[in-house]
Amino acid sequence: MATLASDESARTGLTLTGFLRRILKSYYLRRAVKAFVSIFLITSFTFFLIRLMPGNPLDIYIATQMQQGIPRIEAEQMASSLFQVDLHRPVFLQYIDFLGRLAHLDLGKSIVSGGTPVINIIRKFLPWTLFIVTVSIITSFALGISIGTLMAYRRNSWFDHLFASLSAIISAIPANILAILLIVFFGVRWHWFDFTRVRGSLTPGMVPGWRLDFFADALYHAALPIITFVLTTWGGWALSMKSNTVATMGEDYVTVAAARGLSDGRIAAAYVGRNAVLPLFTSLALQIGFVVGGSTFIENIFVYQGIGQQLGQAVASRDYPVMQGIFLILCTSVVFANFAADLIYSWLDPRIRIEGR
């Protein structure tokens, strides 16, 4: 009986060991651990980096009050009563407190906005940024891969030369410069947009709800940021898709599929298009992070009330908790998007997952 019990426990131990070994060798688990470590390291680096910036909320507030003619002593008294925070505490202790609050999903309270919880600020303004980013990315990606595919199948034609030139020229223009050009032409010269009404994310008095007038108003205010993002990103997708499609069309399996008598449409969709678009998924994930981060300039130019505008205001006023919270959201979005791209890529091409083991 003792021998049977020992054999059973040994088999159980081997089974448990093998199960843990298979988990540790899992492609998805290793990607998840890598994502978590990346978020932790970037968040920690950002925490110390923003405290190396010149100035702090107290100094900026005092300087602003003195510019308005208030004596320094009175401005210091006003700052001490307004900011209930000890900015002279050792940075390492501030970091420990930050990690402790973060473990409880507490991002702290704004220093400048009268103690407003950072999570409330993010909850209020993040959806508007996600709205313009989602619409922009989907539109730009679909437009880019469609034009890029047509450019590949019509190589050396007028269509190819025209859109290749447009893609290169428009992609070279910085988003903030293009935004200013849109204001000059769409608003000042052609009067297509009334910039006294298009500011903000909604018209004052408009109540959010599942109504057509609400969606129309939200889209009207977001139109210029969306147009800016689409114009500055579709060219890169088009050129990349053209290059990938041309390379894929020369593969042996495409030649074999044509020799088997498959239709051109099936070859283009199942063989060429699917394999040509695969490498763009990683770029798409990175583009999502860049667009969210780049929304700071675009939202400030168009006075669009999103998370980017809040980040710009927080940087200007050195509102550390708001900066940390928004940077954490941006970091998490980029890392999660890369993680999702890895999962999708490994699902579409199992060779990636098998080689990763």
Tens digit of pLDDT at every position of the chain (357 positions): 455 445 555 455 456 566 556 655 666 777 778 888 888 888 888 888 877 777 667 777 777 777 777 777 777 666 666 665 555 677 788 888 888 888 887 887 787 776 688 888 888 888 888 888 888 888 999 899 889 888 888 888 888 889 888 888 888 888 888 888 888 888 778 877 777 777 778 877 777 778 888 888 888 888 888 888 888 888 888 888 888 888 888 777 777 777 877 777 777 777 777 778 877 876 776 677 667 666 778 888 888 888 888 888 888 777 888 888 888 888 887 787 777 777 766 666 666 555 555
Q: Which CATH number fits domain 118-356: 1.10.3720.10, 3.40.220.10, 2.40.10.10, 2.40.30.10?
A: 1.10.3720.10
Distance, CA of 244 to CA of 277 (rounded, Å):
7
Domain boundaries, the chain: 53-83, 118-356
pLDDT digits (tens, 9 = 90+) for 66-110: 777 777 777 766 666 666 555 567 778 888 888 888 888 788 778
CA 102 to chain centre: 21
Predicted pLDDT at 282:
67
Closest Cα partner for 183 from 135, 228, 220, 233?
228
Q: How far is CA 100 from CA 119, 165, 237, in A?
A: 16, 53, 42
Q: What's the predicted TM-score (pTM) here?
A: 0.75
Closest Cα partner for 249 from 230, 233, 271, 225?
271
Predicted pLDDT at 10:
47
Predicted pLDDT at 143:
92
User: What percent of the chain lies above the pLDDT cut of 70?
Assistant: 81
Predicted pLDDT at 173:
83
Q: How far is CA 337 from CA 118, 241, 281, 299, 325, in A?
A: 23, 20, 10, 22, 18
